[in-house]
Structure 1
Amino acid sequence: MFGNLFEEEEEGGFSSTPSKGRVTKGGDEPPPPRGRSNLCGIKNQGGTCYLNSLLQTLLFTPEFREELFSLGPEELGHLEDKEKPGAKVRVIPLELQRLFARLLLVDQQSASTADLTDSFGWNSSEGTNQHDVQELNRILFSALEHSLVGTSGSSFIHSLYHGTIVNSIVCKECGNVSQRQEDFLDLTVCVCGMSSLEEALWNMFVEEELFEGNNLYRCAQCNKLVTAAKSAKMRKLPPFMTMSLLRFSFDFAKCERYKETGRYSFPLTINLRPFCEQTDGDDSDYSYELFSVIIHKGGCYGGHYHVYIRDIDHLGQWEPPVSPKLQEDDPLSVLTIIIAQVQQHVLLDQLGQKLMDKIGSSWSKKFRKHYGPIGKFLQSHNDVFILVSNGTRVALKANPPSPTTEPPGPQGSHWFDLNDSTVTSIRESDIEKQFQGKESAYMLFYRKTQLHRPSEAVNNPQYKVPPHLIQMAQEENSRVQQKREEFEASNNTVELHLHLAPSYRLENGALQTVSKEQNGSTALSFDRRKTVGDLRLAIYQMQELWEGDMALTVAKSLPAGLHLYNTLTDDGVSLYSAGIHTNTDLFVWNGREVSLRLIYIICFRCSIAGSCILSFSNIQHFPVVKFLLLGSCWHLRRLDWCEEVGEPLMDEDASLSELKIIHGETLVITEGQLPPKGFLKLSVWLYPDPGTSSVVPSETDSHHTDNGYTDGQTAGHSAPLCGSNTTEVRSVGQVEISDEATLEELKTQVLTLPALQDLCAPTSAFLRMWQLEGRRLMRILRGQQLTLRYHTVLTGTDLCVQQLLKEEDLGPKEMLLNVKMGVPGERSYYPPEELVWDSSRDSSPRSLRTCLAAHYGLSPDSLLLAKHLPEKHSWEEISSWNQQVSKKKKKKKTESLLGAPFHLKDGDTIGIKVLENKFS
């Protein structure tokens, strides 16, 4: 019946091969319901997108749809009788009716055209052939007319789409007119060399073709070759005008086909009066509005069809489409958006900066390699951009309105993009995007504006649908809904393994079954869409003898036994949201004990004396500290990298996973209560008063260096020195303070300790606060208004407070040094003095030597300095060492005592010797 429908056409475009990457769902899965648009798509059987686009256009042509539905079974027959001999069954219109009913009434995302194409005689081997939608439109109408012969609908296609064109040739000598009438179902209009549909129609029906010169016309009346004019006019206009655009041409020079991708505009409404033979009618007789655009994407040897359709009866739910994201990899899209955001034009020099601001990358870095310079790219797209002001500015090319184009309709106008199974809302302005490019309009469908729809048809998909088709759709909806419920129930049923507490005992830190012969688990099938509370109730009903509370804890069977994880506490959350899946193990217990033995008691079988090291696992999501500890006078600490007791675990409500405690890690239980969250517990020590002796002789067992310095501390001086082996500091108690407290507030709180009631300090500035490490003074805390968090003071830090005779506020680069001046001619030192050295401007040895010389009133060159190294029991001489000079840069490296090899810090001891040959 369809002749060469499935043969490849040489003059048309071709539809797509089947799209790849789509997952084919199993036959047991029911079709998904309709989307937000409430419209049904059509499945692509493999290269049938051209058929889908045409069928959707016919469906959304209300007059075509209603004429088809008006044909009853008494005229078309019944599909059940098509195999009966002698039965007159018109299969094609019957299958088309059933397809339209499914598209209108059945709640599914997409319908299948398999039954319809079977009625065409389509076999599986032709499923992936490529076909032309223009040719299909003509053949489909021809097949329907042939199938409807002898019925009341035999002429409805003719009445809706049939028009006539009259071709006239006028003799210029005698005025004789020769006419020939042609029928058409669609108009084929030229695209090559035209800029718009109106221009093509003007060239077809207004302009005349002259026969002159070597191309004369033989007049039948004159009986000779004469000059003549040929023209064409439309004599009869159908209610629906179909325009087929000749997008595909043949290049005779290259002997190959190509697709016209240049700009070709068409109006939303058009008046055809200038192109008609009779022009004395009302404007409504010639006025048409666009309602469908079939679009071809691709080239002349392959591609894909989809269709833009205006929902005349408002059968779908139109929503404003979401604005597409900026395609940063498409320079044409990016530049168009940038230029469109300005009112007129953009300087070519500024376009690169605007591109950088928009996508964060320059043209040279992102596009130049593939598209060349930006100026060349703009010139190559002269259909989109226009260069003005001698090429210094760029603007978007304006689209002048056609004289026959009327203003567009309201925004939106219920336009949809039907792309096989997918249906999305679009704006009316999106049609302009199909004027040009590889994705562009291919067929246009116009409808007379004088055709009005009754109010009963609006938002009523059942309007004029026969009752037997409505019943068929309702039965299919019931079957589909039942399949969906069965599928959802089957897909959401999980198999759970319940482990009941009476069947288990706690052994070696894990749950073991009471009897090794029994499995200990009970299988339960449950819908994961239900809540935890529903599961708990179902287990209660299974275990009639269960008494008291019931806790459900996720468990895992490991070789060591059953290990517990998180407990399901929220009864309102679904099992799916709680992370319960098939084969999940659940431990059912009262949440407190197993076999009448508290779980955490097992952890404390060892006697706790001072600190107790123990390993644990299986409780990743339990509050670890509260679970393990009895009472509030203990806390947990980690072990550091050298297996020594490290920092405490401050958050007692945290789980193992939150504390990032891994399997096999060892924790230390230490006596003592942790401060509240955000507070610090600090130990405070008191710095002793310094001695007052003027000259202190060196000890007899002191070690002497080659330079005459004495190794070790002098006798009679008990003040602690940084790095000394032992200190004379005395513990005065502990303070608990917020980590947001300032240093001044810490000093004030320290003065409230009972052991420091007799300490006389007018203000906190008369106190110096040291940080201790291993009973050694390491650094001075500076900045009265800086917080303890800024100073990185942590819980357990030891601080030493020192009373001063005057106020002190050291700067960040001011360093406190203990200076010991050697007694000339003797191996002894004067008592140490404290010296503040400002190293902010210069931290070199010369700066320190100058500072000490000024303090003692000596010449800098007469001083020999050394730093005391108590760990090595030696002195390290401080001198201006020789720097290696780079041959390339010729620049010395800056000398600094704060860096290697001296690393001077607060409390370091500096020894001074006056060279004998320069002493005065």
Structure 2
Amino acid sequence: MSMFGDLFEEEEESTTNATTNSITQGKEKVCEPPPPRGKLKLIGIRNQGSTCYLNSLLQTLLHTPEFREELFSLGPEELGKLEDKDKPDAKVRVIPLELQNLFARLLLLDEQTTTTTALTESFGWTNSEEMAQQDVQELNRILFSALESSLIGMSGSSLIQRLYHGTLTNSIICSECHNVSERQEDFLDLTVCVRGVSSLEEALWSMFVEEEVFQGNNLYRCSHCDRLVKATKSAKLRKLPPFLTVSLLRFSFDLVKCERFKETRRYSFPLSINLRPFCVQSDQPDSELCYELYSVIIHKGGCYGGHYHAYIKDIDQLGHWELPEDDMKQKKQKVQMKTVNVSVCDSAVEKDDPVSLLTAVLAQESGSVLLDQLGQKLMEKIGCSWNKKYRKQHGPIKKFLQSNPDVFVLLGNGSRVALRNQAETPEPKSVADRVQDELEAGSDSGLEVEPMNGQWFDLNDSTVTAIRESDIMKQYEGKESAYMLFYRKHTLQRAPHAVGNPAFGVPAHLLQMVQEENDKLQQRRSEFEISSNSIDVRLHFASHYCVENGALKLIDKDKDTVTLSIDRRRTVGDLRRAVYQIQDAWKGDLALTIAKNLPAGLHLYDMLTDDQQSLSSAGVYNCSDLFVWNGTEVNGVCVQSGAECEPLLLNILRPGGAELDSVGVVGDQSVGEASEPDASGLVHVMQGFSGGATLGGVREALSLPEALVCQQAKGVGPGGEGGGASRWKVCSPEAMRRTLRELTLRDGDTLLLLPHSHLNNSVFSVSEDVVTVMTPSDCRWLQVEFHTHTTHEEEKEKKVMKIPAAGSTLLSQVKQRALEEMQLQEHFTGGVCCLRERDRTGKFLPPVCEDLSVRDAGIKLMTSLWLCPGHSPNASQLFLFFSVVPPTGPELEIIVEQTITVKEVLFDGNVAEGWTHW
């Protein structure tokens, strides 16, 4: 094993284990069952981690019908039962039983993949280290040895011996007395050299035909002559098994460089082979000595790691072979190319390229064209002859055609010409007819629909792919090349009723076991389908709502929505009937409209009108909101609907004492609760407006018809935020006539309404179209707090200090002055501390960037900041909160560069330490 080292470690997996999806419908989590068998009808084996070598060998054994049926012929009366394996006196042959179960599942289980966990546990492989110890060639010997040991004393004890074991004879002939010394050897597989030979036949020839001569210093001691003599040594195959396994020695050791290497040079092997030249003389017919290839185990990679998969011939036609995807694309491209040739023929004339011109002319013909006719057809196309236009530069037309063999081919002793990729047809058809025929037939003369010599598949762990027999030749050489060959005796015949019948030979108890598993799978799929299609919709009834400021508002907040569960495949009519059953007292028309909760309130969008339409196609999804009403009005008020009328929730600022009512009521409309005046004397009111309303309409609705309407100047926070002075841009008369949507206002945006009576005082000043709002000098401060805690998080010490600050004050200056006045310079190790805000729940927000001013950081004056340990981010960094699942404690914090990727964050040493489940 030391020579193979890490050969069995996989460099890369061709597939990954399918992840289990789940669907949560707000009720319970339903795991997605594994999908059913694919259209190819064969299933793969999940990789447990470096078990691709095992999967490849098991698939080969499964598709060896005689081995499979011999194994199935061993019943529980001989092998015992798996449920009794832990009983002290029970004799249970676990390995063959688990192999039977695996084969039954591979044949009949309605899944795309299955697992070998139970089988590998029967080997005693319980961790990845043990599973990674075997090479597929060595595994073949170990597995067969384990099976032989398990079947001792049973009817199947000679199973491996009969199917796979052969004998060869080594002979030495004395050149003096011609005495023959023979010794027979048993073999399970033939190990053949790859280095120095180019094919399997050449390797067998050197092993079983060529003779080794003992002469010179290398003489042979003849027991009959009793002295050293010249002799010849040879070997022959004496007894051939039904199944011949050939192991290729791809890996060698360089004694000069003292390192392993893989032979990647071309090494061919036949699809069928006659072994008579390599056998002892016998009167057996050739049919008994002919073998056909039915499996190739392939190794991809180098001698320090790689991946195994198998090309297998489906002898019993258990799978459904169809044109490989690459060939399907190639076929479509060929048909499309012929269609294009018809349409581009005229454009080729313009190119003045003789190759393009002749190709276009020949593409319009049904097959080959007489050489003398080609010149005539060319003249009809371009208006002059070849000799006149091209002979001087390109020579005679025949010579030109011969100089382009990749495009043109001469037939009939050079009297006819055709395109290289164009097949001749016995009965000429027009190009249009031929293209149409190919499109309708879905086939191409050069691409067969199904192989005639057997169906081949690539079984690559979980993935199964149909391949062509010609694909085997691609594995003659390279980093991905054949590693083991399996041949089957030509005379072995299959019973007619075994073809296409995966249940053939499977014992009744295994059929029942798989059927029960399939029934459970089908039940899980049905439950998952119901669960995955079940949606909850929230019904909002019109009687509980009123129209207010362009949005629908609940009259009584105690009357919440009604949740209705329904299958999303049901129709709108089914939903309407279900709603009628809930509201049995409803009279008149019942309209259902998709709604959405916006910050300003509930808003309506599309009405569901087609009762035959499914809910999913109508845009009704899980947790959708539906408004139930008469379709025209709500409590006598018409309702605007659609995205263009979406209401916006705006923050309205006005000077305290303006004509607006102190509790925020304009006329009969409630506009929300007004806040206490801020440092600049501004009152905040949250108000909803229709997105189709104009700015002028907003001003009228607020009963301030003469006030200036101002928007925040770009880059400056709303009044009172950012400290110091804030600037506002006065909206022009043109802007006052535009709608809120046209002005691209969004929820939470702020408008300042400034009556003329407040202009040019100590707080508000106007210069051209800019209003400046000043903060009074006695309000220019920030409160900095510092708390220390014991180990039990009890507050031990608290310090509070008001630090003078203006909008232009740097936060680093605020921190430094707080540290000095609170005498905390020695409290923080190395002076590492930061300033942080808190939200309403008391949670610390990200540290503020100390390179910014109070205004630029968006810090309100007359608010509190907390001194905390830790770094503050600079202008090029981000502060992130993150947590892990399952939670291991409070949220974690990290500062990263803005240019870093998420992957780099996850695998950062500080983040990933002790955590391996990203």
Give secondary structure in 2 for the equivalent of 1:451.
Answer: coil
Structure 2 residue 162 is the aligned partner of structure 1 residue 162: no
Who is 2:484 aligned against?
Answer: 443
Who is 2:4 aligned against?
Answer: 10
Give secondary structure in 1 for the equivalent of 2:10.
Answer: coil
Kindly provide the CA deviation profile for residues 5-35 of structure 1, in whole angstroms up to 9, marking residues without a partner as x: xx76638942526738656426943222111
Structure 2 residue 504 is the aligned partner of structure 1 residue 463: yes
Question: What pairs with 1:129-278 in structure 2 (closer than 5 Å)?
Answer: 129-278=132-281
Distance in 2 (alpha carbons) for counterparts of 1:417 and 1:662: 57
Distance in 2 (alpha carbons) for counterparts of 1:306 and 1:253: 32
Question: What pairs with 1:658-807 in structure 2 (closer than 5 Å)?
Answer: none
Q: Is this contact kept in 2: 1:46–1:127, CA < 8 A?
A: no
Distance in 1 (alpha carbons) for counterparts of 2:572 and 2:197: 69
> Which AA in structure 2 matches 1:568?
L
> Which AA in structure 2 matches 1:181?
Q
> Which AA in structure 1 matches 2:140?
N
> Which AA in structure 2 matches 1:137?
N
Who is 2:20 aligned against?
Answer: 25
Give secondary structure in 2 for the equivalent of 1:323.
Answer: helix
The structure whose residues are more often helix, as a share, is 2
Who is 1:909 aligned against?
Answer: none
Who is 1:804 aligned against?
Answer: none
Distance in 2 (alpha carbons) for counterparts of 1:308 and 1:647: 74
Which of residues 534, 539, 542 in structure 2 aligns to 1:493? Answer: 534
Who is 1:507 aligned against?
Answer: 548
Structure 2 residue 539 is the aligned partner of structure 1 residue 544: no
Give secondary structure in 2 for the equivalent of 1:35.
Answer: coil
- Deviation at residue 410 of structure 1 after TM alignment: 4.2
- Deviation at residue 97 of structure 1 after TM alignment: 0.6
Structure 2 residue 598 is the aligned partner of structure 1 residue 558: yes
Distance change (3 Å), C-alpha of 1:212 and 1:323: same
Q: Is this contact kept in 1: 2:299–2:480, CA < 8 A?
A: yes
- Deviation at residue 563 of structure 1 after TM alignment: 1.0
Distance change (3 Å), C-alpha of 1:23 and 1:460: closer
Which of residues 47, 55, 64 in structure 1 aligns to 2:67? Answer: 64
Who is 1:903 aligned against?
Answer: none
> Which AA in structure 1 matches 2:275?
L
Distance in 2 (alpha carbons) for counterparts of 1:38 and 1:543: 50
Distance change (3 Å), C-alpha of 1:615 and 1:499: closer
Distance in 2 (alpha carbons) for counterparts of 1:233 and 1:207: 10
Who is 2:628 aligned against?
Answer: 588
Distance change (3 Å), C-alpha of 1:223 and 1:459: same
Distance change (3 Å), C-alpha of 1:544 and 1:663: farther
Who is 1:117 aligned against?
Answer: 120
Distance in 2 (alpha carbons) for counterparts of 1:661 and 1:460: 71
Distance change (3 Å), C-alpha of 1:128 and 1:67: closer
Aligned length: 545
Distance in 2 (alpha carbons) for counterparts of 1:520 and 1:194: 83
Question: What pairs with 1:820-839 in structure 2 (closer than 5 Å)?
Answer: none
> Which AA in structure 2 matches 1:583?
C
Q: Is this contact kept in 1: 2:197–2:203, CA < 8 A?
A: yes
> Which AA in structure 1 matches 2:4?
E
Distance change (3 Å), C-alpha of 1:215 and 1:87: same
- Deviation at residue 110 of structure 1 after TM alignment: 0.9
TM-score under structure 1 normalisation? 0.55
- Deviation at residue 235 of structure 1 after TM alignment: 0.3
Which of residues 605, 630, 638 in structure 2 aligns to 1:598? Answer: 638
Which of residues 518, 521, 525 in structure 1 aligns to 2:561? Answer: 521
Kindly provide the CA deviation profile for residues 848-894 of structure 1, in whole angstroms up to 9, marking residues without a partner as x: xxxxxxxxxxxxxxxxxxxxxxxxxxxxxxxxxxxxxxxxxxxxxxx
Who is 2:913 aligned against?
Answer: none
Give secondary structure in 2 for the equivalent of 1:541.
Answer: helix
Q: Is this contact kept in 2: 1:552–1:589, CA < 8 A?
A: yes
- Deviation at residue 65 of structure 1 after TM alignment: 0.5
- Deviation at residue 144 of structure 1 after TM alignment: 0.5
Distance in 2 (alpha carbons) for counterparts of 1:60 and 1:661: 71
Q: Is this contact kept in 2: 1:17–1:46, CA < 8 A?
A: no
- Deviation at residue 532 of structure 1 after TM alignment: 3.3
> Which AA in structure 1 matches 2:536?
E
- Deviation at residue 545 of structure 1 after TM alignment: 2.4
> Which AA in structure 1 matches 2:621?
H
Give secondary structure in 1 for the equivalent of 2:326.
Answer: coil
Distance change (3 Å), C-alpha of 1:648 and 1:561: closer
Q: Is this contact kept in 1: 2:604–2:641, CA < 8 A?
A: no
Distance in 1 (alpha carbons) for counterparts of 2:620 and 2:640: 27
Who is 2:516 aligned against?
Answer: 475
Question: What pairs with 1:16-55 in structure 2 (closer than 5 Å)?
Answer: 16=10, 19=13, 24-25=19-20, 28-55=31-58
Q: Is this contact kept in 1: 2:596–2:603, CA < 8 A?
A: yes
Q: Is this contact kept in 1: 2:6–2:305, CA < 8 A?
A: no
Distance change (3 Å), C-alpha of 1:601 and 1:481: closer
- Deviation at residue 529 of structure 1 after TM alignment: 3.7
Could you say which structure has the larger radius of gyration? Answer: 1
Distance change (3 Å), C-alpha of 1:417 and 1:536: farther
> Which AA in structure 2 matches 1:445?
F
Q: Is this contact kept in 1: 2:168–2:185, CA < 8 A?
A: yes
> Which AA in structure 2 matches 1:14?
F
Distance in 1 (alpha carbons) for counterparts of 2:118 and 2:607: 54
Distance change (3 Å), C-alpha of 1:257 and 1:532: farther
Q: Is this contact kept in 2: 1:18–1:45, CA < 8 A?
A: no
Distance in 2 (alpha carbons) for counterparts of 1:432 and 1:572: 56
Q: Is this contact kept in 2: 1:411–1:428, CA < 8 A?
A: no
Structure 2 residue 675 is the aligned partner of structure 1 residue 617: no
Give secondary structure in 1 for the equivalent of 2:294.
Answer: strand
> Which AA in structure 1 matches 2:20?
K
Who is 1:431 aligned against?
Answer: 472
Distance in 2 (alpha carbons) for counterparts of 1:318 and 1:325: 13
- Deviation at residue 296 of structure 1 after TM alignment: 0.7
Distance in 1 (alpha carbons) for counterparts of 2:641 and 2:293: 82
> Which AA in structure 1 matches 2:534?
T
TM-score under structure 2 normalisation? 0.55
Distance in 1 (alpha carbons) for counterparts of 2:576 and 2:252: 72
Give secondary structure in 2 for the equivalent of 1:50.
Answer: helix
Distance in 2 (alpha carbons) for counterparts of 1:618 and 1:164: 93
Distance change (3 Å), C-alpha of 1:414 and 1:23: closer
Distance change (3 Å), C-alpha of 1:102 and 1:213: same
Distance in 2 (alpha carbons) for counterparts of 1:563 and 1:108: 46
Distance in 1 (alpha carbons) for counterparts of 2:733 and 2:547: 30
Unpaired stretches in structure 1, ≥5 consecutive residues: 1-6, 328-349, 354-391, 396-408, 604-613, 620-640, 650-655, 666-920
Give secondary structure in 1 for the equivalent of 2:137.
Answer: helix
Which of residues 543, 552, 573 in structure 2 aligns to 1:533? Answer: 573
Kindly provide the CA deviation profile for residues 728-763 of structure 1, in whole angstroms up to 9, marking residues without a partner as x: xxxxxxxxxxxxxxxxxxxxxxxxxxxxxxxxxxxx
Kindly provide the CA deviation profile for residues 277-311 of structure 1, in whole angstroms up to 9, marking residues without a partner as x: 12432111111111111111111111111111111
Distance change (3 Å), C-alpha of 1:252 and 1:664: closer
Distance in 1 (alpha carbons) for counterparts of 2:597 and 2:404: 73
Distance in 2 (alpha carbons) for counterparts of 1:601 and 1:13: 67
Q: Is this contact kept in 1: 2:298–2:482, CA < 8 A?
A: yes
- Deviation at residue 470 of structure 1 after TM alignment: 0.4
- Deviation at residue 187 of structure 1 after TM alignment: 0.6
